[in-house]
Structure 1
């Protein structure tokens, strides 16, 4: 009896350099990348870059990939295929800690009080990169895309979700406490700054030092 021939993989196919470059840039990008920027990075005409993106999108669709190349907000980005949403949701929830880190809570607070807000605006408030934290909050269902800002690049705007209100036991965002109630008074700020800088507190005059010392 003749044995079936062993399975052999298809010979590797090398994408054209322009398509590979587009893939690399879009994989590294957080927001949709405009064609004009892709053209500048690749040093190719915008029309050629558009044809390249369309060819990649058609290739992914024909091969039945789990991701697509989508044209959104005036640019292109790689995103998961809509049909794969159930699996992506399971992955997002698998192994995630029930508690949020301090960085995640701070980022969530900025979104809650300044929404709709872009990643860049959140990063400017916190003074650090927030891409990873924002992805986590989106995966947890506490933050979601709510639109796009006008202007160059049309950055994605984020806001809190109904799950956020549910977790906090709020009926609406109007029930969030005023920001003023969450900010310490000037004397407390000065005292904390002095302690960080190593300045003797007796040089600051009277202040609420005793209550602070009572903190564990």
Structure 2
């Protein structure tokens, strides 16, 4: 007797793909994979041969709501322009104990200031960050590179061809951002806690002072164009 064909729902397929993926997966990539499977994986996968991308998005949103309401300690988060399974924030203390992680590491105020400047003004050079903060940021840049929250994305065409920095996908995942458009407004970062007193971080004033002089208005060569591979090199030419 021929074995009865077992059909799976689109939500099951999407859930399994998100669970197996190591990185956030875009809706377009889910759609492409499902369509490719219909061509390459035989009859079992052909049931989704005619689906549209909007069908994938609809099924994903339904699954996201279902998982969020399941009280399973899991959620489907939209981060870094994609979707991924992750544990809910409320379960953090027990997971840290299970994994012997201890208290979560926190960035220092100077590191957060430096990271905020890179995030809002990228691509940005080290000297531009220093002009905003008013102090040397070599150690902060090195620390953020090691934490993989920023990366070298190329070199400016300014004299000396200084390195350009931008944020990473890990930055997006760490702060739960689906895209850089979700960064809070500059007015929310107008005051950044300092030690021992409050320090004002006036990004708008810095933009005015450097209008026409910074890398934001300059053409930049990308990492691929320059062949820059070593992200640990923080020296400026």
Larger Rg: 1
TM class by shorter-chain length? 0.3 to 0.5
Structure with the bigger RCO (C-alpha within 8 Å, sep 6+) is 2
TM-score (norm 1): 0.40
